Structure 1
Amino acid sequence: MSYIFNILSNVNRNGGYVNSSKYEIIKPSIRYIEEHLEDPDIDTEFLSRLSGISIPYFRKLFCEIYKMPVAKYIESVRIGKARELLKNDYGSVGEVAECVGYRNIYHFSKAFKKVTGVSPTEFSRG
């Protein structure tokens, strides 16, 4: 699924493709996000260093490729994973929140509802 998402995410608003060399620059950061969702301290500064570029350039490239700020992307990936975990009865809402990088269940529930339209508890009930 990550492969398909990466292809689709490279399509820009005009129907063309973002220069693949630009994507290659931030690819280590994307991989880190996907592999370390449980890390609540993922931030733009760390990701830009991981990609070997300045913070402003990282933000610019990221928005150009993904059409959203870094924090929003991280949130959407976390909530996507949380949906998967809740759907598969991984554990309690608190356990899922921790697994996807939220230290506070209230913030997780608020973010989840903002993205999905329902609370994590409602979602897990089906």
Structure 2
Amino acid sequence: MVNVPISAAELDTVKQNPPSVLNSGFLNTHLLQMNGAEFLPPLKKICDEFSLQKKYFREKCSALLKEVLIDLHRGQLYNSGNASESVKAVIDFIHNHFYEDIDNKDLAALSGYHEFHLNRIFFKYTGMSMHKYILNLRINEAKRLVLNTNLPVGQISEKVGFCNGTYFSSYFKKVTGLSPSQFRAAFKNNI
């Protein structure tokens, strides 16, 4: 995971003019990158370019970032072998069933691996446990529903697979810093 610091002014610009790549579905692919080290030099180049702020530095940073994203998207999506195919199948299953009550045992049965071994492989490919991956997916869908619908928070909680509305609200707040209602109030009018 790469964290990119962004100023409040830049965030406002993004909110007013979301980059087309964010709406294109391009980033909805499940990227599994075994050797992220090959992307460190171009990312360092982006940071250096941004630090120097020479003429047209934003355009150059944008072009370099696009190059990294394209390289990730091309042929780097899945590594060959049974383990990566199992992880791909698990990720696809999670994306199609995240709103259901699924756990590591269900996913292990799907893959043919023991749940602890599968979780280690999954972590190696994605950087997070299967449980955390499911929770993140549920929260991302919840954020979308909070902003794009008028559904009550309890209904959103159920729709995204949380059995307990209180747990949903507390986890949502842990991730976003705001309760679902506060999140809706803060961002709904900004989109």
Aligning the two structures, in what range does the TM-score lie when normalised by the shorter sequence?
Answer: 0.7 to 0.9
- Deviation at 1:117? 1.1
SS in 1 for 2:37: coil
Structure 1 position 67 matched with structure 2 position 91: no
Residue 56 to residue 13, structure 1, CA distance change in 2 (3 Å) = same
The alignment of Structure 1 onto Structure 2 pairs a total of residues equal to 124
- Greater relative CO (CA pairs within 8 A, separation 6+): 1
Q: How does 1:1-126 map to 2 (within 5 A)?
A: 1=25, 4-7=28-31, 9-10=32-33, 12-15=35-38, 19-21=79-81, 22-39=83-100, 41-125=101-185, 126=187
Amino acid at match of 1:25: S
Distance 1:121 1:6, change over 3 A: same
In structure 2, the CA distance between the partners of 1:15 and 1:93, relative to structure 1 (3 Å rule), is: farther
Is the CA contact (8 Å cut-off) linking 2:34 and 2:79 kept in structure 1? no
Q: CA deviation at 1:90?
A: 4.8
The C-alpha deviation readout for 1:20-74, integer Å capped at 9, x for no partner, is: 43321122221121111221x2111110111121212201110001111111111
Secondary structure of the corresponding residue to residue 10 of structure 1 = coil
Normalised TM-score (structure 2): 0.59
Partner of 2:53: none
Separation in structure 1 between the aligned mates of residue 35 and residue 182 of structure 2, nearest angstrom = 34
Letter in 1 for 2:162: Y
* Two-structure CA RMSD over aligned residues (Å): 2.1
Distance 2:38 2:150 in 1: 38
What's the offset of the Cα at 1:12?
4.3
Q: Which runs of 4+ in 1 moved over 6 A?
A: none
Larger radius of gyration: 2
